[in-house]
Amino acid sequence: MPELVLASRKSPLALAQSEGVRALLESRYPALRVRIAPYVTEGDRRLEATLAKIGGKGLFVKELERAMLSGEADFAVHSLKDVPAMLPEGLALVAILARGPVEDVLITRDGRELNALPPGAVVGTSSLRRTVLLRRLRPDLDVRPLRGNVDTRLRRLMAGDFDAIVLARAGVERLGLDVRSVPLDPTAFIPAVGQGALAIEARRGDGAVLRWLEPFDDAPTRRAVEAERAFLARLGGSCQVPLGAYGTVEVDGTVTLRGFIAEPDGSGFWSGVLRGPSPDVGTALAERLIAEGAGKTVARFAAGEDDDGSTEGQKA
């Protein structure tokens, strides 16, 4: 009986996502067995620090990629928003599954909306992107760093450490959590690149593995997220600057992309919407924002400087 080894982070959400993909594969291919191999990543080990201080979300995938390149594992399942713009040599995103909900949600103890939070309310997030957007929409809120897995964040909310927290709706739903949440409009509160999508990463050209995985690729989702990732790549794929992008695809294949890039303190903010016939619209929108003034921000962070001129990385 053929067997594939699926490398997964040990976090509850990562394991839930990996279990879901294993079920899809074994349902479609009854003769196939998928074994999940759990790994603790650098990002999981360093929960005491914000992602902005330890090098970004790529820390959640490096160990899994090493396992695939060494032959320990055949493939990995990622939240696409955790995957850097550039992949290691020899690996590819061989399937993008049909996208789940893209938006963020505001979670409170009483289910109130963002505009109903009182001035000075304490809102927790680990994301520079969310921090910038929250402060732009509600400059009177007290936005503070919050790391840890989803259960940890919810416990701190319920304990009263925070009045609200912001999470990705897809993760909340995949964990089956019963919480009081309000969706944030993704056309205004622009999601992370790839948010809501699951990606299967595997060795490029490994036909014995790819034949099982490639049929799960969803063409409209891939088209949308390729535009988002093109936007990210043109802006440097940086771990140091907050940005977001949200692509939608019409029946005729036209891609509409909304995107923004900002200074970490929100002092500079550039956004736009562009439609086009291909995912190249992501590159075009990035070029437009660079021309409108974001170029200096992109260049500074590409040089490894944060907003204080240091070399300490930050990540949206």
Q: Which three-class secondary structure state does DSSP give residue 73?
A: coil
Token pair 């009081």 is at which residue? 180
Evaluated on CA atoms 233, 246, 315, 60, the torsion sign reads negative
Question: Is 163 tagged catalytic?
Answer: no
**Residue given tokens 């093109």 in the structure block:** 230
The C-alpha atoms of residue 299 and residue 307 are separated, in whole angstroms, by 12
Report whether 170 contacts 181 (CB < 8 A).
no
**What's the token pair of residue 128?**
């520079």
Distance, CA of 212 to CA of 216 (rounded, Å): 8
Could you give the 3-state DSSP secondary structure of residue 206?
coil
Task: For tokens 């998928």, name the residue.
Answer: 34
Residue (of 93, 157, 97, 95) closest to 125 by Cα position = 157
User: Is residue 105 within 8 Å of residue 94, measured between CB atoms?
Assistant: no
Query: What is the helix (H) or strand (E) element at residue 154, kind and residue range?
Result: helix 150-158
Rg (CA), the chain: 19
Q: Which helix (H) or strand (E) holds 257?
A: strand 255-262
Catalytic entry in 82, 104, 163, 206: 82
Question: How many CA atoms within 13 Å lie on the side-chain side of 103?
Answer: 12
- Residues serving a catalytic function are 82
